Amino acid sequence: MTKKPHNQAFGIVLRKIRTERRQTQETLAFTSGLDRTYISLLELGKRSPTLDTIIVLCSALDISLASISSRIEDAMRDETTT
């Protein structure tokens, strides 16, 4: 199978972390100051987040940049080995 694009991997990880934190897209939008539809587009892999956006999301989700980066790399690696 071909390598999953990094935007899709980011979206998968973002949704997983958000649901682990028991947050809705609306709640995450409120705490991050981002629009709910933008969060939806990120989770669907249809938008590419800037570093500023990733940092804002990390803060709102109480996760480090290093941790989310590691999870994104894992998601990309898992997709290439399946």
Residue 34 phi, psi (nearest 5): -100, 160
Query: Three-state DSSP class for 37?
Result: helix
Residue 6: its pLDDT value, please? 92
Domains annotated for the chain, with CATH where assigned, are: 6-81 (1.10.260.40)
63 CB contacts (<8 Å, ≥6 apart)?
17
Q: How confident is the model at residue 80 (pLDDT cuts 50, 70, 90)?
A: low
Q: How confident is the model at residue 52 (pLDDT cuts 50, 70, 90)?
A: very high
